[in-house]
Amino acid sequence: MYAVAEVIAENCVAQKGCRLCIMYCPEADTIVLDQSNPEKKLAKVIESRCKGCELCVVVCNAARHNAIVMVQR
């Protein structure tokens, strides 16, 4: 069992321009901007690429968005 990042859609403010988790993730193309719903752009974690480092959680919480949590898979 291991931990991966998961975005809490209700808290994600990517549609307002926040891209902190995407910018700070050390693994390229792990967190992307999901544009499947043009009215509500959200950060999306590609779980198969996530290494569980929690850096996205740290930067999201520092910005007081609290939109990413680590979950056990």
Average pLDDT taken over every residue of the chain = 95
Q: Identify the band that residue 21 occupies on the pLDDT scale cut at 50, 70 and 90.
A: very high
In tens, the pLDDT along 62-71 reads 999 999 999 9
List helix spans (H) across 1-73: 20-24, 55-62
Task: Label the pairing between strands 3-7 and 68-72.
Answer: antiparallel
| Displacement of CA 9 from its chain's centroid (Å) | 10
Residue with tokens 């321009």: 17
- 16-26 average pLDDT score: 96
Q: Identify the band that residue 38 occupies on the pLDDT scale cut at 50, 70 and 90.
A: confident
Cα separation, 30 vs 59, whole angstroms: 15
Query: Could you tell me which residues come within 8 angstroms of residue 19 by beta carbon, excluding any fewer than 6 positions away?
Result: 33, 43
- 31-55 average pLDDT score: 93
